[in-house]
Structure 1
């Protein structure tokens, strides 16, 4: 997520970075770890100085 937010690149097959411009992150809640995953992503983004806000 950090490379996506910082440099608009995401890891693809073989860990190659490909250009990707994203405006939101969607965490599906169909598993028991979804809340913890969302909290971890938010903490990592904020620790890197990347703002997090509601997407409406």
Structure 2
């Protein structure tokens, strides 16, 4: 009983993150794009170095 009421008072981190992502859509898209480009760069670099 007490546990469910505390969850209602404090939303989960996932809900906060989703709400934040919707409110700051452009920033989230920029960070997602930078992360994707960075990961692809690392993978292509490793593939080139280990060929």
TM-score (norm 1): 0.32
Structure number, greater radius of gyration? 2
Whose helix proportion is higher, 1 or 2? 2
Higher relative contact order (CA closer than 8 Å, sequence separation 6+): 1
